[in-house]
Amino acid sequence: MGLPDTLKARIDELEKRLNKFIESSETSEDEDLDDEDDEARQQEFIKILVDTCALVREEAARQSPHVTELVEAAEGILSEGVEYAYGESEMFDFMPSWAHDDAAGQPLIKDNSENKLPIPSGALQELMRILRVPDPASRMKEMTPVKWKDTLKRHPKSSKLARFRPNLPTLTPTAANPIAMRVYDARCEVMSTPTSVVPINMIISRDNACLALLAAGGYKNRSPALEYYLLDGSENHDSIEDDHSIQPGLAEVAHHIAIHENRRLILIGDEYRVKSYAWAGPDGNKYEDEPLPVHTLASSNAAGPINVLPNGNIIRAGRGQVAVWNTEELPTHGPDGTDAIGEENEDVLEDTWRDDPDEIETSSGSTPNSHIKFTTHPDLKVDGWMPLIQSPATMLCYSEPNDCFTLDLEHEGKIVARYLGHGGTVNDLSISSADPQIFLTAGSDGFARLYDLRTPLPVLTFDACGELESCDAAVLAYPDGIPTVFTGTGKAEQIKLWDVRARAPVYELSTGNNQVQSLAWDSTHNFLYAATECSYMDRMGYRHDYRRVKSSHDGPQIVEVENEDDDDGYEDDDDDERDFDEERAWPKNAWHDENYFGYVFDAGDHRVYRYAFKEDPNASNLPVYGDAVVGESSSFW
């Protein structure tokens, strides 16, 4: 069914506006526009995208029979606009939101950060020094958030590693929702386990029995790494239990991971092969030390995301197709995991960057039993996916530059629906069985978006990063059935909780100055897991740019001196022995100062965190301070 003339004319007009804008911008590239003119052009550009979404919203609201075709046409305009905005025009580092509509009940939820300037506290102090700001101590106090002890506490047992937003509205949970109240009060024990590998992605099995972390490790992080945690019975432990780690026998760092719950398998894939590892045997008994290598799959024609179909078959996406392996027919590596599968393929050793080629297992692997060809989209490349709960053979997918859609694998990869509004690539997806119609995305434009599968535009947009950085991780949770969103940030080194119904940010959780790479929610125990990276650690394991901790915990300090010989009127903090802890260090470029949370804490290494929300948490369960020191360095990176 084609678009009627009236809709086609409106789409054509939007395309003409975009093309005219691009052409006029290219002809005026050499003009030196002032800030006001530049802002006007940005607004003109964004208005084209806003109007495109408005047309889609209008037709969807009246349940037009042409919505599917209209959304596809609109996606072409929006994708071209996004590519132009980040391409040669360099118009934006991070685009503002243009798919929300407050009046239509699909609003943008902003977080009014307590930081007056979008820069780390240490950078602000250095800026004041360079500019020779008078009375810098007072100015720092004006420009930085108040001390944690002066902020709102929702509950006497709210964690010291949580900081609540001021002037909160009435939140959704009440006394009738005791589990949700624990979460919204931040009544949690915070535990962590250091890891020597750099996190890439983390997933949790649907039964919440296994948490698997895909990472890079080895020399200069050139080797694939897998860590997993068996969560059964861990509710009352004071640490993250049953952790296991291996360096898989793949030739490259793996970027895709899936869990086969019925067979207790973790599947990971690099560009050429997929390997599976069992954390327990067929009888359910867990392997004590390392997991058992089970399968190797040859997948050079399908290097994308992996998943398991309801019938147990393993699938992996490739360009224009999906490779399928019948698990029942697959040969294995034998009872001890050492048998070869297929021919020995030493080609995998030739181009590897691994420093330990002896650890690479060289089986060529099992070829796919069949393929699902995308007959209507032969060039489609899927970058990430997740099965719909109510229809597991339909995959919720994303691909560059900003596409999000559902793909029906039972009907030759037909695109069932498209979801608009991303001003950059999608980084993460989250779905919950508590409400299978809803899904959450995290985007490189710094926003998280909540969608209803039946609606092409986001129902809520969360300004997770203030247009300052990419939002790399987001997860949906439903404590007591109340929809809740967690988002993780990199530069801002924090996790935020958002009340979906109250449409407000509630608090942020400390990550010990680590960047959040991935989040997972354990709905059985109401635990939040976070895989985090210490950006102050290089790939050789050395920490850089640390200073001593300000021991007074009284807030940002600039020490002034009365010395006419001092050119800038400032004294280096390191010269004042009274205000510093000699045993602990703090990153110079940390987003938060020591007093931002109630517990002074720097991780100093990559970590997996567990925020265990409980009715009566033990306040002493806090992560151990890291061992970074001032002046630590390496001779090479």
Q: Select from 283, 209, 213, 282 the least CA-distant residue to 244.
A: 213
- Assign 311 a pLDDT band (cuts: 50, 70, 90): very high
Query: At 235, is the secondary structure helix, strand, or coil?
Result: coil
Give 239's DSSP letter: S
Give buried/exposed letters for 155-166 (b at 16+ CB in 10 A, else e).
Answer: eebbbbbbbbbe
Question: Using one digit for the tens of pLDDT, what is the confidence trace for 188-198?
Answer: 999 999 999 99
Q: Which CB contacts under 8 angstroms, 24+ apart, belong to 480-485?
A: 480/173, 480/177, 480/178, 480/179, 480/180, 481/434, 482/172, 482/173, 482/177, 482/180, 483/434, 483/435, 483/438, 483/450, 484/180, 484/183, 484/184, 485/440, 485/448, 485/450
Round to whole Å and give the CA distance between 130 and 448. Answer: 36
SS3 annotation, 85-97:
HHCCCCCCCCCCC
| Whole-number pLDDT of residue 551 | 67
The pLDDT of 408-414, averaged and rounded, is: 96
Task: Provide the pLDDT confidence category of residue 242 given band limits of 50, 70 and 90.
Answer: low
Is the pLDDT confidence value at 563 over 60? Answer: no
Worst-scoring range by mean pLDDT, 20-29, 157-166, 564-573, 587-596?
Answer: 564-573
pLDDT tops 90 at residue 110? yes
Q: How far apart are the C-alpha atoms of 189 and 201, rounded to whole Å?
A: 23
The lowest-confidence range among 94-103, 237-246, 467-476 is 237-246
Here the tokens at position 21 are: 């804008």
Dihedral of the alpha carbons of 557, 563, 565, 571, in degrees to the nearest 10: -10
Residue 593, both tokens: 């100062």
Strand pairing partners for 106?
101
Please answer whether residues 389 and 383 qualify as being in contact, where contact means their C-beta atoms are separated by less than 8 angstroms: no
Would you state the structure tokens that stand for residue 523, as one six-digit string?
A: 């709905």
pLDDT given at position 569: 40
Q: Would you say residue 107 has pLDDT above 80? A: yes
Q: Who contacts 92 (Cβ-Cβ below 8 Å, separation ≥6)?
A: 42, 85, 86
Pick from 199-208, 290-299, 346-355: least confident: 346-355
For the chain, give the percent of residues with pLDDT over 70.
Answer: 92
Phi and psi angles of residue 117, each rounded to the nearest 5 degrees, phi first: -125, 145
Task: Tell me if 297 sits within 8 A of 248, measured CB to CB.
Answer: no
**Residue with the two structure tokens 């001593």:** 548
Question: 151-160, 301-310, 563-572: which has the minimum mean pLDDT?
Answer: 563-572
Q: What is the pTM of this model?
A: 0.93
pLDDT at 398: 98
Backbone angles phi, psi at 514, to 5 degrees: -100, 155
Query: What are the tens digits of pLDDT across the range 120-167?
Result: 888 888 888 888 888 888 888 888 888 998 888 999 999 999 999 999
Sequence-distant contacts of 33-39: CB under 8 A, at least 24 apart: none
Per-residue pLDDT at 116: 65
The pLDDT of residue 565 is above 50 = no
One-letter amino acid of 372:
I
pLDDT at 538 over 60: yes
Rg (CA), the chain: 26
Contact criterion met (CB below 8 Å) for 536 and 523: no
pLDDT of 275 over the 90 cut? yes
CA-nearest of 450, 446, 496 to 467 is 446
Alpha-helical segments (H) within 366-451: none
Dihedral sign from CA coordinates of 63, 65, 66, 67? positive
| 118: preceding bond cis by omega (within 30 degrees) | no
Predicted pLDDT at 239:
62
Look at residue 141 in the predicted model and tell me its pLDDT.
80
Per-range mean pLDDT, top range of 29-43, 235-249, 503-517: 503-517
pLDDT at residue number 554: 42
Taking only the tens place, the pLDDT of each residue in 465-486 is 999 999 999 999 999 999 999 9
Query: Tokens for 146?
Result: 């108040």
481: left (phi over 0), alpha (psi -120 to 50) or beta: left
pLDDT attached to residue 59: 97
Sequence ranges of the domains in the chain: 5-92, 125-193+468-637, 207-397
C-alpha 26: how far from chain center: 35
Of the candidates 426, 420, 430, the one whose C-alpha atom is nearest the C-alpha of residue 456 is 420
Distance CA 402, CA 82 (A): 8
What letter does residue 474 receive in the DSSP assignment?
E
CA-angle at 335, arms to 329 and 340, nearest 5°: 65
Query: CB–CB of 434/424 below 8 Å?
Result: no
